[in-house]
């Protein structure tokens, strides 16, 4: 009888120990899961350290890029490099026809290839699209990330085969107009962001103008982060 009484405290000790260890393990797992703010902060730091990337821009809607609104942007792909260089192939709609337009941005100057002659020339002063603004600290992606509100971590996803965190939030429209155009109707835009799980590099940003009469979206995807790019200022003829 005595041995049994001595056994029970020992058994109780092991039961309590296992319970404590289990609770610690659970707490450890929870602490390893990043919050929405953690992911956004890490993504902002990673983007600040990014020096070059390939990009693709897709637009579902109409965004004019000239003062008269006669030329609208459809899709763009190209390369960007800090501080303010970009090479892009843009699909634009002019007079009801879709044409491809080559563009180069360098240190605040914009160049485009003349569709008729094939020669490079300085872009018209009223051109309202500059792909190099992606890296602009005050008007680019960094500004959008910095001004995000109501951020939520929606879960995990995959972008181009890369495991990613999917976040949602909202941003005031004036924060995006320099980069995406001044054609959104809503005072605030819904934002979706995908961030790589392994190193927090930014993979995709989508802006949604859901409250507009004709809802539209603006989707920017980044790839080949920090891969070498060569962007040359074209020779003018």
Domain boundaries, the chain: 1-33, 36-223
pLDDT for 6 equals: 52
Residue of 67 and 1 predicted with greater confidence: 67
- Any idea what DSSP says for residue 33? S
Domain 36-223 class? mainly beta
Q: Select the more confidently predicted residue: 76 or 182.
A: 76
> How would residue 187 be classed by pLDDT, with cut points 50, 70 and 90?
very high
Q: How far apart are CA 85 and CA 83, in angstroms?
A: 6
pTM: 0.84
CB distance 211 to 186 below 8 Å: yes
Cα–Cα distance, 50 to 133 (Å, whole number): 14
For the chain, percent of residues with pLDDT exceeding 70: 87
Q: What is the pLDDT of residues 63-117, one digit of tens each?
A: 888 777 778 888 999 999 999 999 999 999 887 888 999 999 998 899 999 988 9
User: Contact at 8 Å (CB) between 223 and 80?
Assistant: no
Phi and psi, residue 86, nearest 5°: -155, 150
Average pLDDT over residues 226-230: 95
Q: 9 pLDDT band (50/70/90 cuts)? A: low
Query: Sign of the CA dihedral 169, 170, 176, 180?
Result: positive
């Amino acid at each position: 009888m005595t041995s049994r009484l001595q056994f029970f405290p020992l058994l109780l000790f092991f039961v309590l120990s296992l319970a404590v260890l289990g609770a610690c393990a659970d707490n450890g797992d929870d602490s390893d899961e990043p919050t929405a703010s953690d992911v956004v902060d890490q993504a902002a730091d990673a983007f600040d350290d990014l020096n070059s990337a390939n990009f693709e821009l897709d637009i579902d809607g109409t965004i004019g890029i000239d003062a008269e609104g006669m030329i609208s942007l459809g899709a763009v792909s190209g390369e960007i490099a800090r501080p303010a260089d970009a090479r892009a192939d843009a699909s634009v709609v002019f007079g009801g026809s879709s044409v491809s337009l080559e563009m180069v941005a360098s240190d605040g100057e914009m160049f485009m290839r003349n569709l008729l002659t094939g020669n490079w020339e300085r872009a018209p002063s009223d051109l309202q699209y500059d792909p190099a603004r992606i890296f602009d600290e005050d008007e680019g992606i960094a500004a959008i990330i910095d001004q995000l509100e109501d951020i939520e971590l929606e879960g995990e996803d995959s972008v181009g085969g890369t495991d990613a965190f999917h976040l949602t939030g909202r941003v005031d429209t004036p924060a995006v107009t320099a980069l995406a155009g001044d054609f959104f109707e809503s005072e605030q835009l819904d934002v979706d962001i995908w961030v790589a799980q392994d190193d927090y590099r930014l993979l995709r940003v989508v802006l949604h103008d859901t409250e507009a009469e004709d809802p539209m979206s603006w989707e920017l995807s980044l790839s080949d982060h920090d891969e070498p790019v060569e962007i040359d200022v074209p020779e003018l003829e």
